[in-house]
A and B are shown apart, each in its own frame.
Chain A
Amino acid sequence: MTTLDLDGLIDDPATRIIVCCGSGGVGKTTTAAAIGLRAAERGRHVCVLTIDPARRLAQAMGLTELDNTPRPVVDIKASPGSLDAMMLDMKRTFDEVVESHSDPERAQAILNNPFYQALSSSFAGTQEYMAMEKLGQLRAQSDSEGTWDLIVVDTPPSRSALDFLDAPERLGTFLDGRFIRILLAPARGAGRGIGRIIGAGFGLFAGVLNKVLGAQLLSDLAAFVGAVDTMFGGFRERAEATYALLKDRGTAFIVVAAPERDALREASYFVERLEQDGMPFAGLILNRVQEVRAPELSAEQCLAAAERLEVAGDSPITVSLLRLHADRLRNAERQRRLATRFTAAHPGVPVTEVIALAEDVHDLDGLREIGGLLAGN
């Protein structure tokens, strides 16, 4: 098994973007933050984009304002490096996209439309799409202003592997679908009413929708589609640019997992999908691995010794400690079996294991400790 050389990766000036992906609850956000801090303290100018950090982690990084803009993280030992961090505001990012692609009047019409509001706040994939959109913006800003030379991105806990890779495409397909084109026809036909559209299919369709949803809904929908039409080109272009950016050699994907069956199954999907898309994949970080001290004491040996002491009525606390040790060994063995299964299926993948810490990270020292573990020391 090869080890992921994190310091080699973050010290290489050619590394411009690191994307941390994985299922929910495996410590992905913490990992992204720890990588960002370590890189900054090793001299990089880093921006960390987090999606939904735990409250204490956010506080540790000084993320108190949700204003969709990177803010400097203070109290780091980064000279000449620097660290900025931000939390993604999905809706605000979407609004900004709309504003930058339309004149103010049209933008306002879109922002007020109930369908836009539904799409921007809860369409499956919007968060993924906006995370990638924000990444594109940050990268453009760092290219033009020289603000950052490394961007570390946390990704939303996708339900299915790499929704964020598919999101731009999905949104594009969705907005470009046949149905939308039918709805768009009247808008393009010099502002005639939607009911004037010819074609039995549409008449039937409009009838049904009017009946079920009410006429207001249909006209809102037509207005939305008409307004959004002008942005299509922009959406597509940006989605393609972001995808190209992800595929670039300056990007490194890190898959984060925990040694549990479901998380490793997800990690397998991620690894396979990244390889299939030819994405630059750096390796796997296996978080929350059970640490065993004195592994040479086997579980059986400890349980037998505990039994002997218990029968003799000797030192109850030693009995408990031996059983605790056996418990940890068994858990570690179970995790080892799961990890072995993963490496057997993906033999070339570099893996770094990080032991489970007793406490959640709540300050920069905690993040620094994790950064050290990630780098293998």
Chain B
Amino acid sequence: MATHLIVAEHTGGKLVKATLAAVSAAQKVGGTIHAIVLGQGIGDVAAELAPFAATVHTAEHPGVKDRAAQPWAKVIADAATAIGATHVWAAATGAGKDLMPRVAIRLDAGMASDISAVVNDSTFKRPMWAGNITGTVAVSSATKVITVRPTEFAAPAAGAAGTIAAFAADPGASKMSFVSFDAVVSDRPALSDARVIVAGGRGLKGPEGFKTIVEPMADVLSAAIGASRAVCDAGWVPNDWQVGQTGKVVAPELYIAIGISGAIQHVAGMKGSKCIVAINKEPEAPIFQVADYGLVADLFKVCPELTEALKAAKA
């Protein structure tokens, strides 16, 4: 029988919801689910995970207070060995991607990244070539390390609260350390949690375009704001807003793409959205191939109109 270890991701004393996608994926395999939380002052995070795990192991140690891949990987691998884990899971977030390959090496395990489906206990599906191809991968090592694409797994079933047990963490010597974090401050919902995303591209002509076109529409819809790589690179908006193969993968109920051409690398990050609206003046823009509703128009003309109409429709 499988024994799973879920690596909790947390920020500001709260569980990052994407972690629950890893729980869902582990539930698909079946077996006993454990979770591990690293850090200091992590009691609330452990409590949030308890309904999903037989045991939540808390690894509190000054050496893992801030997330750093090297010391974290050692503690996670030690815990996996201690409980005899067959599967070690995390969400395929930036943090999960940074951390989990090191865990795999420590456990002499193969790793499946960013999976979109569980076929069985050792076989998984995952996007390759920017989502152009879905690969089926078989992991043959005794222990398997897997990161899970959060948008592809529904919320897991909760059970009775599991026990919370302290794990004696030994982070070992580390050649790297956390220095600081410069957070993008925003009152808007996070891209990964948003029900609606309004995203902008180079068609907006400059940062002003985001202010005058995208933000008012996002305000009306209580939406998060996304962006193409081109505009992040140009410094119009924070890098953290990038949607795509190498940015964030999102799947909101509604995704409105404004002045985005629809390059495959962008589409890779948003084509799972329930309803896609594209506004682009070029009728042949590839974004229209994935859009449920396409409006061929000058965005500077129709977007203010659309914002007003949405406001009226919501009133």
Q: Do A and B bind each other?
A: no
